[in-house]
Amino acid sequence: MTNKTNCVICGSKEAFLAEENILEPVSMGVFSVYVCSSCTVGYTHPVPNNLEGYYDQENYDSYQKKKSLYNTVYTIVQKLNNNYKTRIIKKFGLGRLLDYGAGSGNFVCHANKKGFKAFGYEPINLQKKKNVTNKIEKVKKSKYEFVTLWHVLEHTKNPKNLLLNIKGLLCEGGKVVVAVPNRGSYDNIYYKKNWAAYDVPRHLYHFNQKSFHRLISEVNMRVVKTKPLYFDAFYVSMLSEKNKNNPFWFFTGFIIGFVSNISGYFTKKHSSIIYIIE
């Protein structure tokens, strides 16, 4: 089955059906993923008109506050990942940092503690934190040494336009730090339509390394360094098992996540990848 929708990355009109009957576990909606025949980016179909409703804070993982084993694991991993992320960025220096799509504002708070002058932009779910805003006008008043997009680009309706806009926010020598799930990873191949990192319909685009590099070339930027997000393999695998109602989701997910990281060590196709671009 093919789809004639123009690819937002490369403009190709040819795409093929990669996965179908992907279930969104909260709304029980069903979606598909098509893949561009040219640049290999995947995209979600259909895109619902009420997309913002899928970011309901009561049900979306990034905002969960209920006490459970899963949420305890999520909180621990989030803290470890924040330390890992700031260590990577610090190798390029300190300075003003904009976290675009800041969510709960957790990373902004952490980055400020680590010596950055960090601000957050969150257009959907505004948090009551002084360094996070939903006003893009406030963001545009400054230039930044770093702009971070932690699992944000895949949510946007036009990743190319977003990166072009973010380029305009950088000071001279500034870096954009992007983390996205990797459609070419072992855990994607293992779970197929049950891969939690599809996160349809919130994730509108699904990148592998080829499609991401093509996107970066389209906005006249270049990748200067990549780093894996090791914990994402465990997190995604556990959530995939949890969504399958596996009572042993923690243990099975841990095993698959471990295998995915081992596979990524040799293939460089990790579950999620951080790209530092300029």
Summarize pLDDT for 83-102 with one digit per residue, the tens: 999 999 999 999 999 999 99
Q: Where residue 27 falls among pLDDT bands split at 50, 70, 90? A: confident
Q: Any alpha helices (H) in 135-248, and if so which ranges?
A: 136-139, 159-167, 186-191, 209-218, 230-243
Q: Where residue 219 falls among pLDDT bands split at 50, 70, 90? A: very high
> Residues 88, 197, 154, 9: is their CA dihedral positive or negative?
positive
Summarize pLDDT for 167-211 with one digit per residue, the tens: 999 999 999 999 999 999 999 999 999 999 999 999 999 999 999
* Count of CA atoms in the C-beta half-sphere (13 A) of 17: 11
Say how far apart CA 254 and CA 251 lie, in whole Å.
5
Residue 96: partners with Cβ closer than 8 Å, 6 or more residues away? 116, 117, 118, 119, 142, 143, 144, 145, 146, 171
Please give the average per-residue pLDDT across 69-78, as a whole number: 75
Residue where the block lists tokens 């990281």: 261
123 vs 45: which has the higher pLDDT: 45
- Select from 210, 232, 239 the least CA-distant residue to 10: 210
What integer best gives the mean pLDDT of the chain?
91
Residue range of the domain that includes 100: 2-277
pLDDT for 52 equals 79
Q: Are 32 and 2 in contact (CB under 8 A)?
A: no
Q: What beta strand segments (E) does 68-185 contain?
A: 96-100, 117-121, 132-133, 144-150, 170-181
Q: Where residue 61 falls among pLDDT bands split at 50, 70, 90? A: low
Say how far apart CA 246 and CA 266 lie, in whole Å.
29
Cα separations in angstroms, 96 against 4, 13, 141: 42, 40, 12
Say how far apart CA 48 and CA 201 lie, in whole Å.
7
Structure token digits, residue 147: 């702009």
pLDDT for 110 equals 94
pLDDT for 76 equals 80
pLDDT for 1 equals 53
Lowest-confidence region among 58-62, 103-107, 131-135, 220-224:
58-62
How many domains, the chain? 1
pLDDT for 233 equals 96
Residue 34: partners with Cβ closer than 8 Å, 6 or more residues away? 3, 5, 15, 16, 17, 18, 42, 43, 45
User: CATH number for the domain including 191?
Assistant: 3.40.50.150
- Select from 240, 151, 256, 258 the least CA-distant residue to 196: 240
Say how far apart CA 176 and CA 203 lie, in whole Å.
20
pTM score of the predicted model? 0.92
pLDDT for 3 equals 64
Structure token digits, residue 211: 């499609």
pLDDT for 54 equals 81
Summarize pLDDT for 130-174 with one digit per residue, the tens: 889 988 899 999 999 999 999 999 999 999 999 999 999 999 999
